[in-house]
Amino acid sequence: MMTQEINCFEIVKDLIDTSVKKLNLNKSVYNILSEPQRVLTVQIPVQMDDGEIRIFTGYRSQHNNALGPYKGGIRFHQDVNLDEVKALSTWMSLKCAVLNVPYGGGKGGIIVNHKELSQGELERLSRGYIRAIAPVLGADLDIPAPDVGTNGQVMSWMMDEFSRYRGQNEFGMITGKPVIVGGSMGRVEATSRGCVFTIREAAKVTGLELNGATVVVQGFGNVGSIAARLLQQEDGCRILAVSDSTGSAYNPNGLDIAAVEEFKARTGSVKGFPGSKDISNDELLSLECDILVPAALENQITDKNAAKIKAKIIAEGANGPTTPEADRILADKKILVLPDVLANAGGVTVSYFEWVQNQYGYYWNEEEVNNRLERKMVEAFNNVYGLYRKRKDVDMRGAAYMVAIERISQAMYMRGWLGNQVYQEVKREVKLA
Ligand code: NAD
């Protein structure tokens, strides 16, 4: 997923270092945040359908729990590696803090091409992973969720396995579950809906009329396809192009997203959608458009292609799609980047709502979930955008990191993790709600 040359974990550490300095915080804050608190590597034996036992490698990284239990998804992908999992867990700490959600950051992954497994093998792998990491999981300790390659069915198996381990139902130990087993209304759409809420706020502050605005979406999975559908159906945007790992569908007159979804469900690809053209990834990213939504994987917008991007707003549905060099180029071009730790935080926010509902055993309707999500996303956008406007020396990503690190460090000071150093509230630049 991550190329050899670009190491996401090194990138996120550099960004944290810069933010700690800009916030005039003690270097100890960086020292703590630059490594996860706990990283677990497990070997998972799985009986394959032909009877052979295969061993899969899995990870769980628990980055920081100053603000609450660790929280973060589980990725099934052949390119999963330890540095990627560590980077993703660090982003989760930052994301929860930007959204003011009372969680720390965690992330897990298994090196596997899940598309090559049968349903039975997938279930045994999912259950085996949970058995292997069960001692460090729990509703008050570490709460996983779906990510690339995992879904509600996988979450159900995992919840069930952990419930067997504990000898009682443990709905609150994992989120992203189907509604019938303790999931939340609105969770499937939450990441995309949250992304759309931030796009609406960005459109307001930049004076962009969303009705008729043109949109390009890279990655037509859970996040990308639903974001495209919401922008088309609720905001009247014209979706020019979408892509997945097999190709793309481009139509300058706009795509009917519901029809593309139906086509992809039937054929397994967006490529070949009637009336559309298959263009290259580079062509897609450099299309003339108002809004670009990278919603695939890391390191897609780099110094090689950033100069060609013509969008006015980039909303990062994916985690880590833009490299630091690309960020600098985009800033020079005055493109407003809504960073991942803000733009795709709707998923963890509704995961938090799901966990709250599990704790109470009382469930909200979809409207209530969406309204609460909107309030959280708008508040987070305004916090980050406000700081970005106030400080001339940071982009939106820098501002989001500053808001997050201020919150985490405040908690660390208060908990005494920073020794005898005292939190100097009067001097703090970022005022936290
Ligand atoms: P997914 O597996 O449902 O979708 C990923 C999509 O990207 C697939 O359509 C895949 O074909 C496509 N893709 C892969 N490589 C590509 C390439 N080179 N070019 C174009 N398309 C490519 O995963 P998802 O859950 O939608 O996650 C996508 C991104 O969003 C990831 O970075 C993930 O970490 C992030 N994210 C997801 C959630 C969530 O709730 N699912 C929450 C926050 C962030």
pLDDT tens-digit readout, 400-411: 999 999 999 999
303 pLDDT band, cuts 50/70/90, is very high
What size, in residues, is the chain? Answer: 433
Strands 313-315 and 336-338: parallel
Asked whether residue 414 carries a pLDDT value surpassing 70, the answer given is yes
Helix (H) or strand (E) holding 268: none
CA 263, chain centre distance (Å): 26
Distance 67 CA to ligand 1 centre (A): 27
Asked whether residue 288 carries a pLDDT value surpassing 70, the answer given is yes
- Write the pLDDT tens digit of every residue in 169-213: 999 999 999 999 999 999 999 999 999 999 999 999 999 999 999
What is the chain's mean pLDDT, rounded? Answer: 95
Is 107 marked active-site? yes
Ligand 1, atom 15: closest residue by C-alpha? 245
Q: What is the pLDDT of residue 118?
A: 98
- Token pair of 63 as six digits: 């980055």
Q: Which of 107, 264, 312, 376 is catalytic?
A: 107
Distance 282 CA to ligand 1 centre (A): 18
Best mutation site among 154, 188, 222, 260 for ligand 1 pocket (most ligand atoms within 8 Å of CB): 222
Report how far residue 18's alpha carbon sits from residue 21's, in angstroms, rounded to the nearest whole number.
5
| E strand intervals along 137-278 | 142-146, 214-218, 238-244, 247-250
Q: What is the pLDDT of residue 427?
A: 56
57 pLDDT band, cuts 50/70/90, is very high
C-alpha radius of gyration, the chain, whole number: 21
For the segment 70-89, the average pLDDT, to the nearest whole number, is: 97
Distance 218 CA to ligand 1 centre (A): 9
Asked whether residue 150 carries a pLDDT value surpassing 60, the answer given is yes
Burial class (CB in 10 A: 0-12, 13-18, 19+), 247: middle
Distance 293 CA to ligand 1 centre (A): 11
Report how far residue 341's alpha carbon sits from residue 358's, in angstroms, rounded to the nearest whole number.
25
For the segment 135-150, the average pLDDT, to the nearest whole number, is: 96
313 pLDDT band, cuts 50/70/90, is very high
Best mutation site among 112, 147, 271 for ligand 1 pocket (most ligand atoms within 8 Å of CB): 147
Asked whether residue 420 carries a pLDDT value surpassing 90, the answer given is no
Which residues have any ligand 1 atom within 6 Å of their CB? 146-149, 191, 218-224, 243-245, 281, 295-297, 317-319, 344, 347
CA 204, 209, 212, 214 dihedral sign is negative
Best mutation site among 154, 189, 191 for ligand 1 pocket (most ligand atoms within 8 Å of CB): 191
For the segment 131-150, the average pLDDT, to the nearest whole number, is: 97
Contact between 216 and 289 under an 8 Å Cβ cutoff? The reply is yes
Which pTM value belongs to this model?
0.95
